[in-house]
Amino acid sequence: MVDFNQHVDSSSSIPSEKFLTMMESYGFHQYVTGPTHDKGHMLDLVFARPDDGLISFASVTSRISDHHTVECRLTICPPLCPTKRVLYRLLKSIDCDAVEEDILALPLLTNPETSLDGLVALYNDGLTLLLDKHAPVKMKSIVLRPSAPWINEEIQLRKAKRIWRMNKLTVSFEIYKDHAHRYSVLLKRVKSVHMQSEVAECGTNQRALYGLVNRLMGKSDVSSLPPHSYEQVLADNFGEFFSSKVSKIRAAIDAAAKRSEVEMNNVVPHQFLSSHGENAVLCVFVPVSDEMVKNFIMASPTKSCRLDPVPTFLLKKVLCPLVPTITKIVNLSLSTGTFPLGIKHAMVTTLDASDLGNYRPVSNLSFLSKLIERIVAAELMDHLAAFDVLPTPHPRQSAY
């Protein structure tokens, strides 16, 4: 179906007669029977082979521009968009006041454990139950439609067409025609504006910029793996590579230990203790108060891990009744010098790489474990700064 720009309705047009004869020789039938142009000529044609049964009929309807709309009924089903089942929680609809009331009734507060691991277990189990109560996991099917985020109210041509078809009003038809005239120009403009805003939001974040380019090019987000013929072969390659890497590290440590034994015989004793005294040694960590813990939590990024019993944004909203318990967990960890077993876990993923030597594990930790880590790091840095142990300004390595 296209504008052939041939006056096939005119019997005196030799090119049109030759064109129709050629199409008939290939077994095509022309379905349009009326004029499609405001000058009274038939320019827009619909061809199909009758044996295919593709088209049942075609009709000329309203005029949008200097051409009329040609509609035809196709005896085919449109391709169905794929669907996907997803799990979700209605986190935004949670009643925080009701959650705080239920927190007060948890064994975590009414009958707390005395041991560190027992207290952490009550924390994780209790908050997990509350999350399941106030925002249970639900399942729904979503349609995976092609993404077109630049579509807005200004450029919704289909919406205007649906409204006109439903109410058949002249004003709706005029709105539809106006949208049709401006659609092509608007589409190019809003696409350009949308892409510019997407690039601007990335700023200097190269990772986000590469991700945006990959999405625009239709690249998959699935992590790449090194070239391999079978999964078993890849697994064996990984095992051999990392076993060899561990052996090399151990050999390097042993060699460094031997060198240090020789070097220690010639090292002048450090002047730290003689300058500051035994009291300057960091033997124990200082217990933290409820207010300090609350400030640490509120100043932490609102990021969550799948290991967290509740999302971090929800934890901050219902924090008040939990602060004393979290403070107790932190202080027990600091005073005993142990890290709770219940949070010695991480969600480990690997960065994309095509070479085994470039694989780097990335560990996502629970919020509680990172909180203890931040408090320990803060006390350590304060101690080092108090006795001028670090150079000024002291450089800090950002990674590895």
Q: Do 282 and 359 fall within a single domain?
A: yes
Q: Do 24 and 114 fall within a single domain?
A: no
Please give the residue that has the higher pLDDT: either 196 or 261: 196
Q: Is residue 59 part of a domain?
A: yes
24 — alpha (psi -120 to 50), left (phi > 0) or beta?
Answer: alpha
Q: Is residue 252 part of a domain?
A: no
Question: Of 191, 216, 241, which residue is a domain's last?
Answer: 216
Q: Do 294 and 368 fall within a single domain?
A: yes
For residue 248, give the amino acid letter: K
Confidence of residue 400 (pLDDT cuts 50, 70, 90): very low
Q: Highest-confidence range of 173-177, 208-212, 334-338, by mean pLDDT?
A: 334-338
- Residue 22 CA to residue 348 CA, distance in Å, equals 66
For residue 183, give the amino acid letter: Y
Report, in angstroms and rounded to the nearest whole number, the Rg of the chain calculated over CA atoms. Answer: 35
- Residue 49 CA to residue 55 CA, distance in Å, equals 9
Give the chain's domain count: 4
Q: Do 131 and 162 fall within a single domain?
A: no
Mean pLDDT within 162-168? 79
Q: Do 61 and 94 fall within a single domain?
A: no
* CA-wise closest residue to 93 among 123, 142, 136: 136
Burial of 293 (0-12, 13-18, 19+ CB in 10 A): buried
Q: Highest-confidence range of 67-81, 101-115, 193-207, by mean pLDDT?
A: 101-115
Q: What is the pLDDT of residues 297-355, one digit of tens each?
A: 999 999 899 999 999 999 999 999 999 999 999 999 999 999 999 999 888 776 656 67
- Residue 133 CA to residue 367 CA, distance in Å, equals 21
Q: What is the pLDDT of residue 270?
A: 56
What is the domain extent for residue 355?
A: 276-386
Q: Is residue 245 part of a domain?
A: no
Torsions phi, psi for 350 (to 5 deg): -120, 150
Q: For the whole model, what pTM was predicted?
A: 0.60
- Residue 99 CA to residue 79 CA, distance in Å, equals 46
Whether 315 contacts 297, CB under 8 Å? yes
Q: Highest-confidence range of 46-55, 111-120, 199-208, by mean pLDDT?
A: 111-120
Q: What is the pLDDT of residues 326-337, one digit of tens each?
A: 999 999 999 999
Please give the residue that has the higher pLDDT: either 278 or 144: 144
The H-assigned helical ranges of the chain are: 14-25, 96-104, 107-110, 116-134, 157-167, 170-202, 206-216, 231-264, 272-276, 290-299, 312-317, 323-336, 367-386
Q: What is the pLDDT of residue 2?
A: 54
From the CB of residue 161, how many other CB atoms can be counted at a distance below 10 Å? 17
Whether 62 contacts 69, CB under 8 Å? yes
Maximum Cα–Cα distance for the chain, whole Å? 115
Q: Do 306 and 362 fall within a single domain?
A: yes
Q: DSSP character for 37?
A: B
Q: What is the pLDDT of residue 266?
A: 55
Q: Do 287 and 362 fall within a single domain?
A: yes
CA 52 from chain center: how many Å?
A: 45
- Residue 229 CA to residue 224 CA, distance in Å, equals 14
* CA-wise closest residue to 91 among 119, 56, 125, 131: 131
Please give the residue that has the higher pLDDT: either 238 or 389: 238
Q: Is residue 176 part of a domain?
A: yes
CA 345 from chain center: how many Å?
A: 23
- The crossing angle, in degrees rounded to 10, of helices 157-167 and 170-202 is 160
* CA-wise closest residue to 54 among 34, 70, 25, 77: 77
Q: Do 130 and 184 fall within a single domain?
A: no
Q: Do 179 and 281 fall within a single domain?
A: no
Q: Do 66 and 162 fall within a single domain?
A: no
Q: ∠201-207-213 over CA atoms, to 5°?
A: 70
Please give the residue that has the higher pLDDT: either 267 or 187: 187
From the CB of residue 344, how many other CB atoms can be counted at a distance below 10 Å? 11
- Among 18-22, 82-86, 290-294, the minimum mean pLDDT is found in 18-22
- Residue 309 CA to residue 106 CA, distance in Å, equals 14
- DSSP string of 277-295? -GGGS--SPPPPPHHHHHH
pLDDT at 366 over 60: yes
Please give the residue that has the higher pLDDT: either 300 or 69: 300
Q: Do 101 and 182 fall within a single domain?
A: no
- Would you call the peptide bond into 393 cis, given omega within 30 degrees of 0 as the criterion? yes
Q: What is the pLDDT of residue 390?
A: 67
Q: Do 39 and 121 fall within a single domain?
A: no
Question: Of 124, 143, 162, which residue is a domain's last?
Answer: 143
Mean pLDDT within 143-166? 71
- Report residue 130 as tokens: 């509350």
43 — alpha (psi -120 to 50), left (phi > 0) or beta?
Answer: alpha
Confidence of residue 372 (pLDDT cuts 50, 70, 90): very high
Strands 2-3, 55-63: pairing kind: unpaired
Q: Is residue 226 part of a domain?
A: no
Give the chain's mean pLDDT.
82
